Amino acid sequence: MKKTVMIVTIPATTEHNGFMSATYEISDNCPVCGKPRGKIFGTFSFDGSRRMNVDGWDNECGHVDKYSDVRKEGKRVAYKKPTEYGKYATTVSSQPPTTDQENTHAGNHISTNKMSL
For residue 105, what are the contacts with CB-CB under 8 A and spacing of at least 6?
A: 19, 21, 52, 53, 81, 82
Is the four-CA dihedral 51, 16, 117, 11 of positive or negative sign? Answer: positive
User: Mapping DSSP to helix (H, G, I), strand (E, B) and coil, where does residue 46 land?
Assistant: strand
- Residues 9-28: what's their mean pLDDT? 89
Whether residue 37 has pLDDT greater than 90 = yes
- Kindly report whether the global pTM for this prediction surpasses the value 0.75: no
- Residues 57-76: what's their mean pLDDT? 95
Whole-number percent of the chain with pLDDT over 70: 74
Whether residue 22 has pLDDT greater than 90 = yes
The distance of Cα 46 from the centroid of its chain, to the nearest Å, equals 14
- pLDDT tier for residue 95 given thresholds of 50, 70 and 90: very low
- Residues 83-107: what's their mean pLDDT? 53
Domain coordinates in residue numbering, the chain: 1-112
Q: What are phi and psi of 44, to 5 degrees?
A: -125, 145
Task: Yes or no: say if 39 and 89 are a contact pair by the CB < 8 Å rule.
Answer: yes
